[in-house]
Each structure stands twice: as structure tokens, then as C-alpha cells.
Amino acid sequence: MDTPPFSELGLPDTLLAAIETLGYERPSPIQAMSIPPALLGKDLVGLSATGSGKTAAFTLPALAKLDVKQGYPQVLILCPTRELAVQVCEEVHRLGAKMNGLHATPVYGGAPIDRQLRALRSGAQLVVGTPGRLLDHLRRGSFDASRIKMAILDEADRMLDMGFKDEMDELLAALPADRQTLFFSATMNPGVSRLIQKFGNSPEVIQIEQKARTVSTVEQSYFEVRQRSKVEVLSRILDMNPPRLGIIFCNTKRSVDECTEDLVNRGYAADRLHGDITQQMRERVLKRFRDGAVEILVATDVAARGLDIEEIDIVFNYDLPTDPEDYVHRIGRTGRAGRSGRAVSFVYGREIYRLQSIERYTRSVIKRERIPSVEQVEGRRADLIFDDLKERLESGKFDSYQDNIDRLLEQGHTPTDIAGALVTMIREASGREGSAIEEDREPERRERREAPRRDDRPQRDDRPQRDDRPQRDDRGPRHDGPRDIIPQESGMTRLFLSLGKTHGVMAKEIVGMLYREAGLPDGCLGRITLFPKHSLVDVPEQFVGQVIDRTRNARLRGRPFRMDVDRGPA
């Protein structure tokens, strides 16, 4: 669905600036339809599912109405669970990042009440909470509901299903009668209707028209991938089946920038398109993509609009779209003109629900695939080199190098060794060595439909910021690797290890050695990258000393090694 830009919705500049920083390029349909009437003070009923961008749809007008100079509760957001309350409060902080003096707090059951009391007393203006605990605060007098201007019910149907009817009734009845109320619900049922009738004031009903669409020839699948492993998994998929042309769709400009940078650092011919790219640059990128000089285009939905290229054989949903219609548009870029096409989506945690609604919308089954292992990728890469080699031999298009080869044969090297060494060199020269991901270390998978835990939520905002990188230690070693530009997670320090692929070392051996020798807690290691002559290992800052000390006399593949804080390329 085409939506107008955020700047046309009537939002104040402070919020537009925060949206720009987050890299949201345009409103999702529920945002475009809810924000203008909500800003006009109307009551709303928004029928929309998780993943549609509904949180920003109600948070933005709520923040626009809030007076940061007043230190009392003005906006109340009711959520069914503690997880959702925390998540919504995080979005409030992200979208309100440019509002000086904003004070928002989550309030939920199962947590000590003291801290919540302090937060409420110290001037919270926006309160996000679960009905039971909020009612508790209302009764104790610690939550002042008398000046609430706007009440929002997030996932109203779920709150009723969870048996919060009485609490919601009591809370809503305690609010000023002239307040504005926004009801958000995935479904409409008699319970939700009753709530709306009792507590709404002729609300406008907003429902996103979703005509089911079928997507025919495209083979659709998904991989369960954590945010931090997305680039590694993407590289593995690309290496298993190198596409002629592929498009990677991201939801934000920031995500496009980061993904492109990571791919270029890994040696792929990738370039990007998003709303901040000038028209002149856009044309240049598209020409290079059409010509095949750029094999992988990373883009937002808006930037890819109107793109009509037939030879695209794979489309990635690096971020799952908020609008199922965008999914259909995205994957429609492949499988054109009778060609076969493939659409791959990356999904994690709660996003599985969004995938299910896409399946319903497209009336198609999106099958789960397993992430290829480093070994499978290595094997496949060798196969591809041998395929090329065979083609060369058959076409006769190669130089003979007779003298050099004869010399090696005279020195006693067999033809098999010479060929093997050459293929190894070609493989290494591609500079695309895989790094470990958590999925490699924990092969056992969760069931697809299992309800995700809070820790499993995609960590969209945990992306490492370049400026947050730990200071490098000047005493550490320097190396010849091209890839320490790989972003480092905050809280992690990158260590240099003086052994690499040519020493036959594998990522899982480094992991084993570190847990064994340094006694690290399970699952704490970050990214491991193998280079021909060295490796880089991301270790939580607090364990750096422990790792360096305890591995001093350790061996890997029978060899002693040096381990120190990495200083980057010489």
C-alpha cells in the first residue's frame, strides 16, 4: 500500500527527527491511517496484528499530545503482558528520544513494587503497564489517573482472553470522561465490541484491507536467524548458490547501510538503494546492477519501487516487512518471465507470528530451512571451483605454465598435490571464510510454533554502533587481515589469535579451547573469524584478562599460540 511520507501526517519535528534517526523510511499502512485522526483527538479502533507497526501508530500521536513540562501521568497504555509493556516502553523511548524531559515508565506484575512506586512518584508522564498491577497502583494512590488525556489499549482481545476484563473496566472507569481512547486489537469479538461501546466515543474504525494474493512460481522459505548472525547466514546462502542477481530487502535505511557495508567487507559485489541516495547515484547503481557489475542490491521497499529487472533469481527479506503487501511486492521481483525464483526470509522470535500472517495473506506455505554449516559451504565452494575448472579444461581457454609446472613435478610434487594446492589458494583468495554463529554450536532447534521468550526477540537495536567500539589496546598485535572491519558487538572485545586456517584450525576448536582453558560461562563467546594466518575472537570485555592469562600455555592443534587484544590491520 502506498503511504504518504511521515512528514505529511502532522507530527511535530522532534518526532520526525527521531523517526529519521531510526531510519523508518515511510509509515506502515496502520500508521498512515491512524496517526492523522489520532492527532485530531478522535477515538480509534485499529484492527491490526503484531508486526504491522501498530506500536508506533499509537505511540507517535501519544507523544505528540504529551506536555513534557508537566510531571504527572498524561498517557496510559495498557498491555496484556510484561514483555509487551517493556517492548512498548522501549519504542516510546526510541520515538521520544528527541523530547527533552520525557519520562515514561513500565509498570507490571511479578516485579518489586518499590522501584515502580519511585518511578511513578518522580513524575512519569506516560505509563505503560499490565492491567492488574496498574489497578493495584491506582488503588494505593500511587498512580494518579485524574489527568490522563489519552488511554491506549494494546492487544485488547488478548487482555480479555487473559481474564483482565474487570481490571480494565475499573481502570477505564477511573479515567477522565473527556479523555481520548485508542483501541488496538488483532481481532474483533463481542468482548472487544463491548469495551469499545462502553468506553469509546464514536471511534473511527481502521482496518487494513487485505485481499489475499497468491504468489505462484516463487519458492519461499525462511531461516531462523538472530539479528547478529544475519550477515553470516546471508553469506552462507549466497555462497551455496551464487545468484546472478539478488535483492536484499531491509526495513530501514540504517539496516541497508549496515548490511551493504558488511557484504562489501566480505568481498561481495554489493551496493545499496534507499531514500537518501541521490537520483544520479541511484541511476548509476541500477545501471551497474543491470550490467551485472553489482550482483547484490540492498534496498528499502520505497527505493526498489519501479525496479524492473528480469534476471533476479533470489530475493531476501533480511528484515521481515511490516506490511504483508510489501512481502508480495518484494518477492514478485523474482521468478519473472517464466524463470524460477527464490524468496528467503530471516525470522526470529516473535516475528514468526508475522510470517504466519504473511502465509495466510499469500495463501502459501513458507517452509523452514536449515542454515548450512561452514563445512557444507566450504564443500560447495570447492565443488563450484571444480565445475569452473572442468569447463576451462574442456574449453581449452587457459595458459599452459608448462615450465613452472614441470619444475614443481621435478621437485617431487605430484599433479594431484599441485592441483589441490591451487584450488585451496583460489578458495582462500575469495576472502570469504565463514565465522561461527550460535546456531552452529547449538544444533538442537526449537519447535517452529513454540511461543518465543522475551530473550529471543529480534535484537534490532542491539546493532553495534561504530563509535561504541571498545578502545583498542595499543600494545596488542597487528595483522594482515582485511576483515576486522566486521562490526563488533558492544560489550565485546576483539582478541587476536596467532593461528588461522593454514594451521588447520577450525572455529569450533577455538571455541572448545577457550571454554576449556579459560573457564568461560556457556554461550558467552561472540563472533569468530578465521583468516589464513590468524583468527579474531570476540570475547565479553569482562573476560579479556582471564582469557589472555589462562591460554598463555595452551595449545591448538598441538601448536603454541599468542592471544592478545587485537589492534587491527598493520
Contact residues toward ligand AMP (CB under 6 A) are 24, 27-28, 31, 50-56, 251-252, 322, 460
Cell, residue 462: 542491539
Rounded to the nearest 10°, the torsion over CA 541, 545, 547, 550 is -170
Q: Supply the minimum distance, in Å, between the C-beta of residue 315 and ligand AMP.
A: 18
Q: Which letter does DSSP use for residue 229 in this model?
A: G
Q: Supply the minimum distance, in Å, between the C-beta of residue 210 and ligand AMP.
A: 15
Which has the closest alpha carbon to 268: 85, 111, 430, 104? 430
In terms of CB distance, is 83 or 311 closer to ligand AMP?
83
331: number of CA atoms within 13 Å, CB side? 29
In terms of CB distance, is 81 or 424 closer to ligand AMP?
81
Q: Supply the minimum distance, in Å, between the C-beta of residue 32 and ligand AMP.
A: 9
In terms of CB distance, is 31 or 235 closer to ligand AMP?
31
Rounded to the nearest 10°, the torsion over CA 195, 199, 204, 208 is -30
Residue nearest to ligand AMP (CB): 55
Alpha-carbon gap, residue 323 to 450, rounded angstroms: 23
Q: Supply the minimum distance, in Å, between the C-beta of residue 52 and ligand AMP.
A: 5
Q: Are 89 and 104 in contact (CB under 8 A)?
A: yes
In terms of CB distance, is 151 or 208 closer to ligand AMP?
208
Q: Are 182 and 21 in contact (CB under 8 A)?
A: no
In terms of CB distance, is 184 or 531 closer to ligand AMP?
184
Print burial letters for 271-292: b (CB count within 10 Å at least 16), e (below 16).
bbbbeebeeeeeeebbeebeee
Q: Supply the minimum distance, in Å, between the C-beta of residue 377 and ligand AMP.
A: 29
In terms of CB distance, is 210 or 546 closer to ligand AMP?
210
Q: Are 535 and 529 in contact (CB under 8 A)?
A: yes
Q: Supply the minimum distance, in Å, between the C-beta of residue 49 and ligand AMP.
A: 8
Q: Supply the minimum distance, in Å, between the C-beta of residue 94 and ligand AMP.
A: 8
If phi > 0 it is left, if psi is from -120 to 50 it is alpha, else beta; for residue 388 that is alpha
If DSSP codes are grouped into helix, strand and coil, which group holds residue 271?
A: strand
In terms of CB distance, is 342 or 354 closer to ligand AMP?
354
In terms of CB distance, is 243 or 458 closer to ligand AMP?
458
In terms of CB distance, is 79 or 172 closer to ligand AMP?
79
Count the neighbouring beta carbons within 10 Å of the beta carbon of residue 516.
Answer: 12
Q: Are 164 and 132 in contact (CB under 8 A)?
A: yes
Residue located via cell numbers 488511554: 151
User: Which residues make Cβ contacts (< 8 Å) with residue 249, sequence separation at least 6?
Assistant: 299, 300, 301, 304, 315, 316, 317, 318, 319, 321, 330
Angle at 151 (CA atoms; ends 148, 156), nearest 5 degrees: 155
